[in-house]
Amino acid sequence: MKIQAVFFDIDNTLLWKRPSIPEKVHETLAGFDPGIPLEAVEKAYAQSELWQGHQVMEENRTGVRMLDEEFVDHVAGVYRDSLGLDAGAFQTVAHTLSRDYRQEYSLAPGALEVLDRLKEQGIVLGIVSNHHTGIRAVLEEMGIARYFHPVVISEEVGVSKPDAAILELACARAGASPEDCLYVGDHPFDILCAHAAHMPVVWLPVNRFMEVPEFIGAPEYTASSLQDAMEYILNENEKG
């Protein structure tokens, strides 16, 4: 397989939030129960990400989008149920999750090196992300917007992962077939989306507690870092 184009997710792939969401929730909960370990919060975060994937898939199926406030309450409810939180802690977690994190982004380690190396190989780089249009300004601020064309943002195109249509749109804009492209993302439902579009995928799990549900199946490669993902891509292209 000769990879002509690589599409990236944004959060937990190209950009990291610092502090991370589990770290911020853990810090918030310290005022209620300082005995809750960060590991337990990271497990709850992984569960909440899977809930979100299922919810977005249902919204794609029905065409009915849950209101943002209700969505956040459901995500906070995953933390409540997993960690045994009381009503006050639950409300505080919901407030924490509804914050605007845009000022707390940082580049993933090695991101610029990875993007430069892939560009040097003549690979088209793009972004496909479930995000709001304001993320474009963050990409500019982080100095990486110039690397990517196309940039396909769910809020702008009216379709979200794991609907394969969002990756198919990116392929059309890149002028490449899905079989000649590759997706790099952190969420198990990124695997589902890519395979539904007949596209190989490199999975970059956000933490050690994130598991891929059996119905999704395995990615072509599980990477430990962006650099590891890059090496896989370059090796695949060397094979031809």
- For 62-114, the pLDDT digits (tens) are 999 999 999 999 999 999 999 999 999 999 999 999 876 556 899 999 999 99
Q: Which two tokens stand for residue 37?
A: 């370990």
- Say which residues have a Cβ less than 8 Å from residue 60's Cβ, sequence separation at least 6: 159, 160, 162, 163
> Rounded distance, CA 40 to CA 26, Å?
9
Mean pLDDT of the chain: 95
Tens of pLDDT, residue by residue over 29-64, are 999 999 999 999 999 999 999 999 999 999 999 999
3 state DSSP class of 160:
coil
Residue 153: exposed, middle, or buried by beta-carbon count in 10 A (0-12, 13-18, 19+)?
buried
Q: Which two tokens stand for residue 61?
A: 């199926």
Average pLDDT on 2-18 reads 95
Average pLDDT on 15-25 reads 91
Paired strand residues for 107 = 15
Question: Which of 107, 97, 46, 45 shows the shortest CA–CA distance to 71?
Answer: 97
- For residues 187 and 211, the answer to whether their CB atoms sit within 8 Å is no
